[in-house]
Structure 1
Amino acid sequence: MTDALTAPSDPGAVLPAGLRLGVAELSVADLERSAAFYEDVVGLRTVDRRTGEAELGAGGVPIVRLVEVPGARPKPRDAAGLFHVAILVPERRDLAVVLGRLARDRVRIGASDHLVSEALYLDDPDGNGLEIYRDRPRSEWPYDAGRLKMATEPLDAQGVLSLLAPDEDLDAPTSAGVKIGHVHLQAGDLDQARAFWIDALGFELTTTYPGALFMSAGGYHHHVAANIWSSRGHGPAPEGSAGLRSFEAILPEGMDVDAVERRLRAAGRRAERRDGALRVSDPWGSTIVLRAA
């Protein structure tokens, strides 16, 4: 990485610290199949249902919207687009319930300790990547020379599972307070990803891995990540594929959205106003929808 990747070109042009992520919208081939997966495997509950769409979440708050695209095929692994949508649970014990359920049902998963968080990884029926994770308190996040330190180490699965009661109800709905914590994307080029997400949009770089950028607002470990691990030089998936349709970034005030629109216009980026929200896509078609709280 070069020093040019460490900050926006204008240090004052950053997204507000109060940013949070809202609903992530995914294309799926079979709505019934996918809704059942997000309820039975992930632990979400249906909040709203209409023809061709379902919203699922926790505590009555939607966090995932599924849109049926009949005949949709999984995104090719080397295509730019979604790497995973990450669902953040409030406590380590919530992660234990998810891990216990996945282990009981023999769902194929990955599991990692990232120093700032503990995470489980799996795919939905259409190959859309999911992460389910819990954050460590910010006071425990490690730093090295002022840069947030993250790693990929083995998860202490037994330590997590030890939090379960002997008669734990592994099928209980996910706790209220669950939300989308971050969205990890595949990109065709890191310099172009940096120019869009950092220079134009206003996220700040928090850390890097070889071949990946991690970006956030307000010092979070990351709200958005982009990697080129298998997608370097590749374009988006074929039209009609399953995958990410969009995800929301909710800003504290309308003036924050206006400021983003001005930055995008100055950077020559095309954005669309729709229903009071600002929609803009990265060079590979991954769309973020910015709106005021």
Structure 2
Amino acid sequence: MTPSIVPDHARIGRTSLTVSDLDEVVAFYRDVVGLAVQSRTESEATLGAGEMPLLVLTRDEDAPPRTSDQTGLFHNAFLVPSRAALGAALERIRDRWELDGASDHYVSEALYLSDPEGNGVEIYADRSREEWPRTADGRVRIGTIPLDLSTLASRSDGSEEVPPETTTGHVHLEVSSLAAARTFYVDTLGLRLQTELSNALFVAAGDYHHHLGLNTWNGRSTPVGGRGLAWFEVVVADAETLSTVRRRLADDGVSTADRETGFAVVDPDGITIRFTVE
């Protein structure tokens, strides 16, 4: 079997949002989500957990708002390492913001909210892999049932920041065509299809429950642009792997563009994916 272009050890790195009001959005991700501001200029801020950068915010007051038919971000999903940290996130949201929803997905427990410019945010904690339900062919089975918020709140450690082990667990995208997205992300990049729901796919590098969600729930039909998602990263282990990924993409006819720390490709909806190394 030909190995996947994206290796099993790959993970999601930083995501980048174009925003209008940088001060307001930085304050949200710092005070509500619990990320630390790692660097800040007049036009850009990087936030993260510990020494790990997770989110880049770029000010562009002239960028038009995302329209109702544009593809792009459904949500960025920040993975915290414990229920105690997730309970603390729930407390911060209740105290300083508004919770949009909460779900038990069998593999994880998740809180949902939106930032000041309408970008979706998920904060979640995984259950142990041994608890993840699987189908007969070994795929991870993701579902949705109500989350017990009272019990979760009781587990809170009261922290004001996410723990340093927090990562970008996955990115969920709104695409115009599931068929086209499947061709690109599954057939070309070789990400594993883990769960297929009504008008949604969940795919992963290796055996994770999903690194990318892809849905057409809101009938988006035009390319990404303006405010919102600018790019997200796929991180691989080393420079040799990065070169191999780029060569194999070129062999499959996928155009790549140089970046300072790697290269970038564009998906069928104009969403930029940057490939880089740890």
* Shorter-chain TM-score tier: over 0.9
User: By how many angstroms is 1:213 displaced?
Assistant: 1.1
Amino acid at match of 1:203: L
Match of 2:101 in 1: 110
Match of 1:137 in 2: 128
Checking the alignment, whether the CA contact within 8 Å between 2:5 and 2:188 is kept in structure 1 is no
User: By how many angstroms is 1:106 displaced?
Assistant: 4.9
One of 193, 205, 224 as aligned partner of 1:217:
205
Amino acid at match of 2:222: G
Checking the alignment, whether the CA contact within 8 Å between 1:187 and 1:227 is kept in structure 2 is yes
Checking the alignment, whether the CA contact within 8 Å between 1:41 and 1:101 is kept in structure 2 is yes
Amino acid at match of 2:246: E
Match of 2:152 in 1: 160
Gaps of 5+ in 2: none
Match of 1:173 in 2: 161
Q: 1:281 to 1:144 in 2, by over 3 A?
A: same
Match of 1:274 in 2: 259
Checking the alignment, whether the CA contact within 8 Å between 1:47 and 1:62 is kept in structure 2 is yes
2:12 counterpart of 1:12: no
Deviates more, 1:253-262 or 1:128-137: 253-262
Give the aligned length.
Answer: 277
Q: 1:101 to 1:276 in 2, by over 3 A?
A: closer
1:76, 1:68 → 2: CA distance?
18
Checking the alignment, whether the CA contact within 8 Å between 2:91 and 2:158 is kept in structure 1 is no
Amino acid at match of 2:178: L
1:14, 1:149 → 2: CA distance?
24
Task: Tell me the secondary structure at the aligned position of residue 77 of structure 2.
Answer: strand
Checking the alignment, whether the CA contact within 8 Å between 1:200 and 1:263 is kept in structure 2 is no
1:11, 1:229 → 2: CA distance?
33
The percent identity for this pair of structures is: 42
2:118 counterpart of 1:127: yes
Extract structure 1 runs of 4+ deviating beyond 3 A: 71-74
TM-score between the two structures when normalised by the length of structure 1 = 0.89
Match of 2:249 in 1: 264
One of 44, 59, 74 as aligned partner of 1:53:
44
Gaps of 5+ in 1: 1-9
Match of 1:208 in 2: 196
Amino acid at match of 1:243: G
1:33, 1:173 → 2: CA distance?
18
One of 210, 223, 229 as aligned partner of 1:236:
223
Q: 1:106 to 1:251 in 2, by over 3 A?
A: closer
